[in-house]
Amino acid sequence: MILPEIRLQKTLDAALSTGADFADVFVEETYSSQLSLLNQKADKAIVGTLYGAGIRLFFGEEIVYVTTNDLSEEALIKTALMAAQARGNQKRLASAFQLKASQFDSIHTYGEKPWEMNRDKKFQWMNAVDQHARSRSSLVTQVEANLLEKFQKVQIANSNGLHKFDQRAYSRLGVQTFVESEGMKESSHDNAGHMGTSELYDKIDLKKLAVENVDRALLLTKAKYAPAGEMPVLISNSFGGVIFHEACGHGLETTSVAKNSSVFCGKLGQKVAHESVTAIDDGTIQNEWGSLNIDDEGMPTQRTTLIEKGILKSYIVDQMGAKQTGYQATGSGRKQSYKFAPASRMRNTFIDRGTDKFEDMVKDVDYGLYAKKMGGGSVNTGTGDYNFSVVEGYIIRNGEIQEAVKGACLIGRGIETLGNITKVSDNLKLATGMCGSVSGSIPAAVGQPEILVSKMTVGGRA
Amino acid sequence: MDTIKNDFLQICEMAKKENVQVELMITGGESLKLGYQKRKLEKFEASQNQMAGFRVVDEMTQGYAYTENLSLDSLKLTFQEALKNAKTLKNENNKYKIKFATPEKIQELTFLNSAQEVSMQEKLKAAEILESAALDVDPKIKSTPYCGLIESKGFKRILNSEGLDVSYQSNSFSGYTYSLAKDGAFTKTNRSSRFVRNFKELDPKAIAEKSAKAAMKALPSKKMKTGNYAALIDREEMSSFLAMLAPHLTAKKVLEGKSLLKGKLGQKLASPLFHLLDDPLNEFGTSTRPFDSEGSPSRKTFLFESGQLMTYLTDIESAEKLGIKNTANATRSPSTSLDVEPSNLVLKLGQTAFDQMIKEHTKVVHITHITGGLHAGYKESTGDFSLPAEGFMYENGKLLGPVDQFVMSGNIFQLLQDIEAIGNEYDADGSSYLSPDVLVKSLSFAGES
């Protein structure tokens, strides 16, 4: 625990003193470390601690949220009273609840804490990535590696008597290589990480990470610009899942649905995708990047089936979303830190494996694009318009993957694209990503097997 | 009693014993966010924050650490962490001896912190109008998924062991409305916002109506035919293109070999109409400040004049390494390391009116919204972009209608050379990019086959 239970009880009592329907307090202590290596030299070392609390009150569907850096009893009560008096006006006589701390078994396992681990070891991993990249090609002009570690302790209590404590570790190692070939400069970046501590890098193949990165940058120096226009697109697995994240996932969050500003509003039980599509949002996968034990509202995480064989089965629901829409909360209240009020957010979100074979899917395309490696993307949930970039792409001609192309951007409308998915392979993979939305930037994994979309707009050069 | 100063002096003593230099940056402030939904108050968020960040320099290396606990014990521990980080990075290959800013006269920017008493009732009223005035424009405005008022009060202080102690306070209000318009099967959204330092200058009705009317105007959009067209980039969206250019302008990226402008000082790289300025003293900018993140006094820097690259943006180290003037563009927060970035980038006004620009080519696409931001398709290492966007198609100077679901592609450096005309007015909505409309000869557009 970060703070004694009695202090949280008094804070919540103060928060409810003017008639709020509900109150919760989120206390956080987070250690962060950022180390980087630039051109074989240790370049940056930054460590720090976040320490604060957010107090949230519901007055009907109105949310009051206040934060403080001062976790003394006096300051917490003062902050809670400020929140209570901001909107409330009734007098409440006595506390009607008693906090009761509850224990649970963690799904996840952690090794050495980031502040305990020898720093030289961390630089050794980054140095190894640098060396592997440089050994791969003499055309490498620069290598940057960085290691981001976060260890978050959270304590959550609410006026229903809930009181829980949890610890979440995150570690992510990134590499960016720059190459120059015959006057053409290109770069490529990639990363590996998990919900967990950094011993991961003793187990994963750092050479593969570096070599693939260099090879991609070199490939791009020779690639021509992607064509422009509408065509079939075969999207790879792993980070290819960003398409579902953008095209559909955000539109299923009650943050949009409750405001009637999602194209998926009112479509529960209806067909929203091709029957080959089953989509899951799963917080229970051990040590996976977007996993949790409990969400930031204290609810146990769960595996939620969003779409089953094309039929919309569930939205992504936080506590306020549940109150506004009447749907059951799915343990999806998440936020970057105590500085943000929680909102309905994705965890590990993916299209589930199908039955098609990748080779057969390629053969289905006369002329189209194979999007092998995706970049970032975004969505307008109101219109369903999404976009994302293709970092590494290839032209498919007469059922064969041919020359590499660069500079492609894929756009479309969520529901149309879901309907245009015609095949789903049996090779599911997940990848790490950072998702930004109203409650800040949070770790969220994306994923899918390879999928074939019969028609998408490819933004390349006309 | 100046507790921070006293505490810092104690830490300077610790630094002296370790034979290192120390810099402390403290930022803090309060913010209030109010938002209405369905004509009822939905969001009331108040936060206060403070953070202290140390930069410890051990001759050729530096380490950082930060904390949100500003007690003396916590500050001492955080200093020790930063010291440990500086020692970790010790490397005999580093040759440059890092220097701190020394005390200089700082220009006072009184407009940053204008005294004003605004009641909670007035703020709530403004927040309410930011939704209701949009909904009242037309029944086709179905909702305003995001709208509200943000009040911010902040301060920044930098002290270093060379005797520097500078600080400033600022306050501001922002109002924003994001309207969703629906007509049959067609849906469009539009975001409008305004940043002011004085509450009286905020017109919530105008913001909300602008957003609602712009969303309505884009209904019903059509796809366009794939091809090359002249592009008229709206003044509000020109910020995305200046943001593409920004990292290439910094001496830090030049030294790292990442800037495509490396070795090009004095060269004509853009249209002769292109004059670009970094202006940290601009009253309308959101990145306005009297000093940079090392404590050097802010000043204006001419980056492009008549298309010619005049200088790079620098901090103390990069200026000295390149042998050019320090433009005071060091940037960092207490929790990040030192970087070099523009403050407010200002593109000088041209002489061509909007109505004239749309007549310059048979077909002109007026780009009013880059829908995915830069991460959807900008590659900094090459300057190539492929960005989804929306806008309006003009033919022979006449509006054909709204267009959407297209991707425009090109290269930022080619675009700068292809500028044919620059508009003659700004919208002072508040941004760290100030630009008029810009007409570009040709970009590639991907839409329908």
Residue A328 lies in a domain: yes
What pLDDT score was predicted for residue A380?
84
Res. A382: pLDDT tops 90: no
**Which of B168, B189, B171, B143 is CA-nearest to residue B38?**
B143
Taking CA–CA distances from A50, the nearest residue in chain B reads: B68
- How does residue A95 score in pLDDT terms, banded at 50, 70 and 90? low
Q: What integer pLDDT is reported at residue A92 of this predicted model?
A: 64
| pLDDT score at B427 | 84
Reply yes or no on whether the pLDDT at A400 is more than 70. Answer: yes
Determine the pLDDT at residue A93.
Answer: 57
DSSP character for B48? Answer: E
3-state secondary structure labels for all residues of chain A = CCCCHHHHHHHHHHHCCCCCCEEEEEEEEEEEEEEEEECCEEEEEEEEEEEEEEEEEEECCEEEEEEECCCCHHHHHHHHHHHHHHHCCCCCCCCCCCCEECCCCCCCCCCCCCCCCCHHHHHHHHHHHHHHHHHHCCCEEEEEEEEEEEEEEEEEEECCCEEEEEEEEEEEEEEEEEEEECCEEEEEEEEEEECCCCCHHHHCCHHHHHHHHHHHHHHHHHCEECECEEEEEEECCHHHHHHHHHHHHHHHEHHHHCCCCCCCCCCCCCECCCCCCCEEEECCCCCCCCCCCECCCCCECCEEEEEECCEECCCECCHHHHHHHCCCCCCCEECCCCCCCCEECCCEEEECCCCECHHHHHHCCCEEEEEEEEEEEEEECCCCEEEEEEEEEEEEECCEEEEEEECEEEEEEHHHHHHHEEEEECCCEEEEEEEEECCEEEEEEEEECCEEEEEEEEECEC
Task: Report whether pLDDT(A91) > 80.
Answer: no
- Taking the domain B3-88, which CATH number applies? 3.30.2290.10
- Residue B167's CB is within 10 A of a number of other CB atoms, namely 15
In a domain, A138, yes or no: yes
The reply to whether A380 touches chain B by the CB within 8 Å rule is yes
**Longest Cα separation, chain A:** 78
Tell how far CA B446 is from the center of its chain.
Answer: 28
A460–B67 CB contact, under 8 Å: no
- Partners of residue A86 in chain B, C-beta under 8 Å: 44, 46
Query: Would the CB atoms of A65 and B46 count as touching at under 8 Å?
Result: yes
What SS3 class is residue B384? strand
Neighbour count for residue B106 (Cβ, 10 Å): 17
**B110-150+172-217 CATH pick, 2.40.50.140, 3.40.50.970, 3.40.50.1240, 3.30.2290.10:** 3.30.2290.10
Domain-embedded: residue A114? no
Last residue of a domain, one of A222, A237, A266: A222
pLDDT in tens, A201-229: 999 999 999 999 999 999 999 999 999 88
Tell me how far apart the alpha carbons of residues A375 and A246 are, in angstroms, rounded to a whole number.
12
Facing residue for B386 by CB, picked from A50, A61, A409 = A409
Q: Which residue has the tokens 């629906």?
A: B182
Q: Which of A51, A383, A387 sits opposite B188 (nearest CB)?
A: A383
Select from B68, B75, B94, B83 the least CA-distant residue to B18. Answer: B83
Q: Is residue A308 part of a domain?
A: yes
C-alpha distance from A408 to closest chain B C-alpha (Å): 6
CATH number of the domain at A181, please: 3.30.160
- 3 state SS of B38: coil
B433-434 sheet: strands from edge to edge: B308-309, B301-305, B276-278, B345-347, B433-434
- List the single residue in B180, B337, B407 with the smallest CB-CB distance to A411: B407
A108 lies in some domain: no
Residues of chain B contacting residue A47, judged by C-beta atoms under 8 Å apart: 64-66, 81, 85
- CB contact under 8 Å between A49 and B446, yes or no, is no
DSSP state of B44: E
pLDDT of residue A461: 80
Provide the CB-side half-sphere exposure for B397 (13 A, CA). 7
Asked if A199 and A264 sit in the same domain, the reply is no
Chain B residues with beta carbon closer than 8 angstroms to that of A44: 64, 89, 337
Shared-domain flag, residues A284 and A301: yes
Which of A90-99, A307-316, B209-218 is the least confident region?
A90-99
Tell me, yes or no, whether A207 and A268 share the same domain. no
Give me the mean pLDDT over the A405-432 stretch. Answer: 92
Contacts of A41 in chain B (CB under 8 A): 91, 93-94
Segment A138-152 mean pLDDT:
97
Residues 6+ apart with CB under 8 A from A94: none
Looking only at Cα atoms, what is the longest distance across chain B?
75
Mutate which of A140, A389, A390, A434 to test chain B, going by most B C-beta atoms within 10 A?
A389
Q: What angle do CA B23, B26, B29 make, to 5 degrees?
A: 170
| Residue A276 to residue B185: CA distance in whole angstroms | 26
Angle of helix B120-135 relative to helix B204-217, nearest 10 degrees? 20
A interface test, pick of B90, B188, B409 with most A CB neighbours within 10 Å = B409
Give chain A's domain count. 3
Cβ neighbours of residue B183 under 8 Å, at least 6 residues apart? B140, B219, B220
- CA distance, residue A427 to nearest chain B CA (Å): 26
Residues A186 and A296 in one domain: no
Question: Which residue type sits at B342?
Answer: P
- Closest partner CB to B187 (pick from A65, A383, A438): A383
Does residue A158 form part of some domain? Answer: no
pLDDT computed for residue A388 by the predictor: 86
Q: Which residues of chain B make contact with A50, given a CB cutoff of 8 A?
A: 68
- Whether omega for the bond prior to residue B220 falls within 30 degrees of 0, making it cis, is yes
Task: Report phi then psi at B60, rounded to 5.
Answer: -100, -5
Q: Which residues of B touch A63 (CB under 8 A)?
A: 42-45
**Residue A12 CB: number of other CB atoms within 10 A?**
28
Q: Which of 224-263 (A) contact B at CB < 8 A?
A: 225-226, 228-230, 256, 259-261, 263
User: Helix, strand, or coil here: B69?
Assistant: coil
**First-to-last CA distance in chain B?**
71
Q: What is the spatial distance between Cα B213 and Cα B286, in angstroms, rounded to a whole number?
A: 26
* Dihedral sign, Cα of residue A392, residue A395, residue A396, residue A401: negative
Write the residue in B44, B143, B448 that is nearest to A260 by C-beta: B143
Give the gap in angstroms from C-alpha B299 to the nearest C-alpha of chain A. 28
pLDDT the model gives residue A261: 83
A333: domain range? 229-459
- Does A67 contact chain B (CB < 8 Å)? yes
pLDDT at A37 over 60: yes
* The pairing of beta strand A400-406 with beta strand A224-225: parallel
* Chain A nearest C-alpha distance from B251 (Å): 16
- CA angle B409/B410/B413 to nearest 5° reads 155
Nearest to B154 by CA among B108, B112, B106: B112
Tell me whether residues B46 and A67 touch, CB distance under 8 A: yes
Strand partners, A56: A24, A65
Q: Which of A74, A101, A128 is the last residue of a domain?
A: A101
Judged by CB atoms within 8 Å, which residues 169-228 of A form the interface with B? 178, 185-187, 225-226, 228
Residues sharing a CB contact under 8 Å with residue A123, sequence separation 6 or more, in sequence order:
A35, A37, A42
Q: Is the pLDDT of residue A303 over 90?
A: yes
Q: What are the residue ranges in chain B where pLDDT is below 50?
A: none
Contact B81 A47 (CB under 8 A): yes
Structure confidence at residue A377 as a pLDDT band (50, 70, 90): confident
Q: How do the domains of chain B map onto residue ranges?
A: 3-88, 110-150+172-217, 227-241+349-446
Backbone angles phi, psi at B327, to 5 degrees: -90, 5
pLDDT digits (tens, 9 = 90+) for B102-132: 999 999 999 998 878 899 999 999 999 999 9
**Which of A129, A154, A123, A125 has its CA nearest to residue A26?**
A154
Whether residue B448 and residue A229 make contact (CB cut-off 8 A), yes or no, is: yes
A421-424 and A385-397 strand pairing: unpaired
Residue A443 included in any domain:
yes
pLDDT at site B202:
96
- In whole angstroms, give the CA distance from residue B319 to residue B101: 13
d(Cα A434, Cα B308) in Å, to the nearest integer?
A: 39
Q: Does A2 touch chain B (CB under 8 A)?
A: no
Q: Is the dihedral of CA B389, B395, B396, B398 positive or negative?
A: negative
* Residues of chain A numbered 19-48 and touching chain B (CB < 8 Å): 32, 38, 41-48
- What is the residue-averaged pLDDT of chain B? 94
Within 8 A of A263 by CB-CB distance, chain B residues are 187
| Whether residue A261 sits in one domain with residue A200 | no
Same domain, A434 and A360: yes
Same structural domain for residues A13 and A124?
no
Instruction: Name the phi and psi angles at B7, rounded to 5.
Output: -65, -40
Q: Report pLDDT for A94.
A: 54
Around Cβ A344, how many Cβ atoms within 10 Å?
30
Per the CB < 8 A criterion, the answer to whether B217 and B409 are in contact is no
For helices B3-18 and B72-88, angle between their N-to-C axes, nearest 10 degrees: 30
Mean pLDDT across the stretch A340-355? 97
* Same domain assignment for residues A277 and A310: yes
Q: Is the dihedral of CA B134, B364, B408, B307 positive or negative?
A: negative
Chain B residues close to A67, C-beta within 8 Å: 46-49
Residue A83 and residue A178 share a domain: no
User: d(Cα A369, Cα A412) in Å, to the nearest integer?
Assistant: 15
**How do strand B363-370 and strand B384-395 relate by DSSP bridges?**
antiparallel
H-run or E-run covering B443: strand B438-446
Per-residue pLDDT at A127: 96
The residue assigned the tokens 């792409």 is: A393
Mean pLDDT of chain A: 94
- Residue A411 touches partner B, C-beta closer than 8 Å: yes
Residue A134 and residue A125: Cα distance in Å, rounded?
Answer: 14
Rounded to two decimals, what is the model's pTM? Answer: 0.90
